[in-house]
A and B are shown apart, each in its own frame.
Chain A
Amino acid sequence: NAGVTQTPKFRVLKTGQSMTLLCAQDMNHEYMYWYRQDPGMGLRLIHYSVGEGTTAKGEVPDGYNVSRLKKQNFLLGLESAAPSQTSVYFCASRGLAGTETQYFGPGTRLLVL
């Protein structure tokens, strides 16, 4: 039982390049979330999904897209990376309502030059 895993752990991009971050969970959780963490700002929600095939915008969605084609996977895409997207990205998952605790992955550190 690996919990929540994220791929890759670290990546360097040039401005304008694209990439996809993969989040996978093996807990059969319905809900999945993508956050970004910047110094002094805690974690901010980018996008989330309440079930397979559904996605919704969070607090800071601009410049990102997501897809949830399989229940266990939640992909975060950057179509044209910008230096402002340099951050640490965390994925989390949660079971059905009534089990409010979110479980976090180890994070992906992204540097956009």
Chain B
Amino acid sequence: AQSVTQPDIHITVSEGASLELRCNYSYGATPYLFWYVQSPGQGLQLLLKYFSGDTLVQGIKGFEAEFKRSQSSFNLRKPSVHWSDAAEYFCVIGGSSNTGKLIFGQGTTLQVKP
């Protein structure tokens, strides 16, 4: 079955510290991979995506993610977290199909300590 697992429901980091959010997936082939961010009371904004090619992808707001096929992972990283990064982060997978349906992870809530 196709699924996405975000092992950490809640993470707290200090401002200026580095961040890594974990994501593992189960899919029959290499899926399209996305990270979305949702600020409190807001909609979802695309941070970055991986379709093919270079396995290290850069996104907005200084985020990057690395696709590791052997580990079925797509972890999100940021070298120095800002207070405004506090939000919920979703790892999402999709396939190349006529429907374009996406499968969402449960989400990781990031809290940033001053």
B100 pairs with A94, CB closer than 8 A: yes
Which residue of A is nearest B44, CB measured?
Answer: A104
Alpha-carbon distance between A10 and B101 when the two chains are bound, in angstroms? 26
In contact, B98 and A97 (Cβ under 8 angstroms): yes
A107 to B44 alpha-carbon distance, docked (Å): 9
Given A102-B100, A102-B102: A43 and B90 interface contact (C-beta under 8 Å)? yes
CB distance from A6 to the nearest CB of B (A): 9
| Residue tally, chain A, CB below 8 Å to B | 25
Contacts of B49 in A (CB 8 A): 100-101
The 3 closest A-B pairs by CB, nearest first: A42-B104, A104-B44, A106-B43
Q: B4, B36, B42, B100: which contacts A100 (Cβ < 8 A)? A: B100
* A residues neighboring B (CB under 8 Å): 4, 31, 33, 40-45, 48, 50, 56, 58, 90, 92, 94, 97, 100-107
Identify which of residues 57-104 in chain B touch chain A, using a CB-to-CB cut-off of 8 Å.
90, 94, 96-102, 104
**B32 and A100 form a contact (CB under 8 A):** yes
Identify 28 residue pairs between A and B in the complex whose beta-carbon atoms are under 8 Å apart, listed by A's number: A33-B102, A40-B106, A40-B107, A41-B106, A42-B4, A42-B104, A42-B105, A42-B106, A42-B107, A43-B90, A43-B104, A45-B101, A50-B99, A56-B99, A90-B44, A97-B96, A97-B97, A97-B98, A100-B49, A100-B96, A101-B49, A102-B100, A102-B102, A104-B36, A104-B44, A104-B45, A106-B42, A107-B43
Residues B32-59 near A (CB distance < 8 A) = 32, 34, 36, 42-46, 49, 51
Choice from A48, A101, A107 contacting B34 with Cβ under 8 Å: A101
Cβ-based interface call for B9 (8 A):
yes
A4, B46: Cα distance in complex, Å: 14
